[in-house]
Structure 1
Amino acid sequence: MENFVVSARKYRPSNFKSVVGQGHITTTLKNAIKNNHLAQAFLFCGPRGVGKTTCARILAKTINCEHRTADFEACNQCDSCQAFNNNASFNVHELDAASNNSVDDIRNLVEQVRYAPQQGQYKVYIIDEVHMLSTAAFNAFLKTLEEPPKYAIFILATTEKHKIIPTILSRCQIFDFNRIQVNDICEHLKYIAGEEKIEAEEEALRLIATKADGALRDALSIFDLIVTFSAGNKLTYQETISNLHILDYDYYFKVVESLLAGSISNVLLLFDEILKKGFDGHNFIIGLSEHFRDLMVCKDPATVELIQVSDSAKERYLQQSQQANMSFLLSALSLCNQCDIQYKSSKNQRLHVELTLMKLAKLPHAISLAAVAQEETKKKA
């Protein structure tokens, strides 16, 4: 039986052009190689799962490649590239600072730096989770980091830049990695689904991309989970929301329809159905706030692009936003926000949400009465 390899490893980028959503980083690194402007120390910082260690490895492979391509990518054919791809390169050393964070560990590293590479131009030292080094270890590293041998390059990676002492920061070229956009993650998931011969609904992939919160590795882990759950070659939206236990946005459309119609009974019945399905009242009210925000964003054609949903869902948002006026949406957002803030301290949390829904159901009527009163005042004036 063939061993399963998770998508995050199987489809790990092997060159700069295959890195997702970090064009500003890859362009700068390629230009540094092209113009021979490589710094002696790099600091890659940003959220988890956005490609810091991957870019460090690609950079290490590319600068030692014997036959770089015309666009300054590694050839993946030469002895150096082959050794790197097989985890057998003597020129690339990776250190996990989370478990090797003492002065002695850094001293051993500094001792290794003294020896020139037997083959290739550079020895590259990748130190992951560098913020975990002790202050004494940082201080022991300072001199080597500032004036290493010409063949040594250090690449430090961290999710918490603020924990690194200023004397280290001042000796590195700092690269800030972005959270990856939902559209970029969705396109990458489509590519992987195609490679794996999996039929995937776009809404399901977009939901996974949204749930990942900008981390591609998280998105790939969720993708693998849903594919395993489906036990076939089809990945559907319904299976995705069922497995991730996410409330279908269809419920929010139904709730807002009932609110605009002023039907308290319908809203309370929908909320009861949501609770019976095992969803939390707090998560529901947060989701409803987000739904009102998306409807408000759809009121102006200039801001429609701010909602990152599929085209069919966007059409539904545009239709419902036309039915709700701006006064209703702003007031509804305010009420939902108050409910969210007070939820934890409420003794009867279900009743707390139900009261908010009752107020929301009476909002359209209250707004229309206020508009009539304003007109009457104008006439008298």
Structure 2
Amino acid sequence: MENFIVSARKYRPVTFDSVVGQQHITGTLKNAIHNNQLAQAFLFCGPRGVGKTTCARILAKTINCENISDKSEACGQCDSCISFQNGNSFSIHELDAASNNSVDDIRNLIDQVRIPPQVGKFKIYIIDEVHMLSQQAFNAFLKTLEEPPTYAIFILATTEKHKILPTILSRCQIFDFNRIRIEDMANHLAHIAAHEDIQYDQDGLHIIAQKADGGLRDALSMFDQIVSFSNKNVTYQAVIDNLNILDYDYFFKLTDAILIENPAQVLLTLNDILNNGFDGSHFISGLASHFRNLLVAKEPSTLKLLEVSESIRMKYLDQAQKSSTGLLLSALNIANQCEINYKTSKNQRLQVELALLKMCHLSSAIKLSQMGSIQLPEASEGLKKKRPDLAQAPSTPAPAVKPSVPVNEEKPSTYTSSAAPIATVKEQAVEPEPLNLPPKVKKGAWGSAKSSMPSLPDLNSIFDSKVEEDGGDEPSLVKGTEQEEISQEQFIQAWKVLATQIKKENRINLYTLMTAVPPKLVGNKIEVDVENMVQMDVLSTAKIDILNYLRPVLRNFSLDLHGVIMEHDLVRKPYTSQEKYQAMVQKNPLLETLRKELNLGLS
């Protein structure tokens, strides 16, 4: 027990070649040593646990080594190497800037720099967490860092590069350390496990590497913890139990239930996950990552982007073949929105359950969408044959024709859901009050005035056969070829009937606009006087509804509607004495003659 050393210290690299995942750094440092082109100051930046301080120690030891190998590595056997390994080197000094961050500490360091090394060629100072130095300490350190003695080398290490003064950065060679790849960490853990005679599972080591988030020191700490937990048997199950990690199997099981549209299984799986102590936000984030991995696995060329073990990669590949790209993209979007709204939701579990239920019905929604985008030949041809007849004789009744293929009522397709002739639909509608229409209009088409006129949406449905299909949901004008001459009396009568129906629908603003000033019919152009832009917007919004009623009723499909802003003559009351006098002169010009004869002025 007394001799136990944690893996992060026991297996700390001692040579450049043994550093994990930082080949671009170690290669540059080895070349600099080999070519004798060492800088006076180095700055090592990067996340925690990626090897900054380790590389600084290896560099310091190698620089002062008396027998550097051909590969620019320290021999580890000379007096300088042995004294450094024992921690009693007089030429290599380590300073913790977190606890020595004052100006006095930097002044003491500067005084030490003036003394040449007693052993070795260089005097090396490693300053860890250098961003913790105060502003005054940085300023005191500037001159020494810019022009140090020829035998002095400074190696600075920090995790927060942005906190260091630009004047310090400009005096250093900067090396940015990367996060260590998952594959490299897993292989390093496997090497340690083999050396320590520990049984391990490759999937378990990958989970440890993923949890470490690029930091090898964190990975080694978790590895030691799991070795103790599992009694030297690092399995996949032991790792997820000890580190409280959501198992891949949960996500694979959940996705299978979504693919077969089984909401009961989805909700039960979520309940198991929450009962095991996992947070809903953590779960939905993991599910989004799972869908992302499935999208990556859809293409063999991108399969290498999955940072998982080989067995898990095969599971992703198998499930990706069963899933459509559209479903995965939609599910990923739902999961992303749920994650965004999770923290602000009062009922967070309901937020997650609602997202999962939406995912369960994605397959049905995609199928309905595909059905809606398919135009059936028989039905479309039948409609094309019907429309010319309807345009010529809209009031002629004809027997209803059923479509040869059933149409989904929830998701309308590109053809109409009923192929019944227009006259049949007209007879089923509630008729308006009779109008004095041209002789060609038969009363049978509209019926008698037994009830009030139907609402505008119902009238629109009557003329569905003449509506241009724009592919959108916005209302469009009915079309036709008839252009009957309209008398002013017929137009005003139809206008009043329409205004009465609009009043019953509680569209008071539009009713007031239509009845305030009688409209003018100039040829085929209807001009409505409006007082301001607000009324103009009301009229523009209702334009389609108005024309869709007036055109077929008056049998003139060239009618158009325009608003005309009325001009108001503004009369300004006289205010000043001059203005009052001018107003009086306009009423009686002799007043000006009297003023001039009497030589009067204005007060």
* TM above 0.5: yes
Indicate the residue corresponding to 1:115 in structure 2: 115
Residue type of the partner of 2:147?
Answer: E
Distance 1:162 1:324 in 2: 44
> Structure 1 length as normaliser, TM-score?
0.98
1:40-189 alignment runs, 5 A limit: 40-189=40-189
Indicate the residue corresponding to 2:3 in structure 1: 3
Residue type of the partner of 1:108?
Answer: N
Distance 1:137 1:377 in 2: 80
1:332-347 alignment runs, 5 A limit: 332-347=331-346
Q: Deviations over 1:334-378 (max 9, x none)?
A: 000010000111111111111111100000110111111112379
SS of the residue 2:368 aligns to: helix
SS of the residue 1:192 aligns to: helix
SS of the residue 2:374 aligns to: helix
1:167 positional shift:
0.6
Residue type of the partner of 2:217?
Answer: R
Distance 1:371 1:326 in 2: 14
1:24 positional shift:
0.5
Residue type of the partner of 1:271?
Answer: L
Indicate the residue corresponding to 2:319 in structure 1: 320
Name segments (4+ residues, structure 1) moved above 3 Å: 377-381
Residue type of the partner of 1:107?
Answer: R
Distance 1:160 1:233 in 2: 37
1:147-296 alignment runs, 5 A limit: 147-230=147-230, 232-296=231-295
Distance 2:183 2:250 in 1: 24
1:273 positional shift:
1.2
SS of the residue 2:126 aligns to: strand
Which of these two proteins has the greater Rg computed from alpha carbons? 2
Distance 2:377 2:160 in 1: 58
SS of the residue 1:246 aligns to: coil
Q: Deviations over 1:71-111 (max 9, x none)?
A: 11000011110001111111111111111000000000000
Indicate the residue corresponding to 1:24 in structure 2: 24
1:148 positional shift:
0.6
SS of the residue 2:38 aligns to: coil
Residue type of the partner of 1:198?
Answer: I
Q: Deviations over 1:224-245 (max 9, x none)?
A: 1111111x22111101100000
Distance 1:278 1:215 in 2: 26
Distance 1:301 1:241 in 2: 28
SS of the residue 2:361 aligns to: helix
Residue type of the partner of 2:365?
Answer: A
Distance 2:166 2:277 in 1: 48
Distance 1:211 1:282 in 2: 17
Distance 1:100 1:24 in 2: 31
CA root-mean-square deviation: 1.1
1:259 positional shift:
0.3
1:264 positional shift:
0.7
* Count of aligned positions: 380
1:301 positional shift:
1.4
Residue type of the partner of 1:38?
Answer: L
Moved more, 211-220 or 371-380: 371-380
Greater share of helix residues, 1 or 2?
Answer: 1
Compare relative contact order (CA 8 Å, sep 6+) and give the higher one, 1 or 2. 1
Q: Deviations over 1:20-42 (max 9, x none)?
A: 00001001000000000000000
Distance 1:179 1:134 in 2: 28
Distance of aligned partners of 1:277 and 1:124 in 2 relative to their CA distance in 1, 3 Å threshold: same
Distance 1:233 1:326 in 2: 42
Distance of aligned partners of 1:144 and 1:359 in 2 relative to their CA distance in 1, 3 Å threshold: same
Residue type of the partner of 2:371?
Answer: V
Q: Which runs of 5+ in 1 are unaligned?
A: none
Residue type of the partner of 2:362?
Answer: L
> Structure 2 length as normaliser, TM-score?
0.62
Residue type of the partner of 2:289?
Answer: E
SS of the residue 2:375 aligns to: helix
1:2 positional shift:
3.3
Distance 2:244 2:209 in 1: 15
Distance 2:375 2:4 in 1: 72
SS of the residue 2:124 aligns to: strand
Indicate the residue corresponding to 1:329 in structure 2: 328
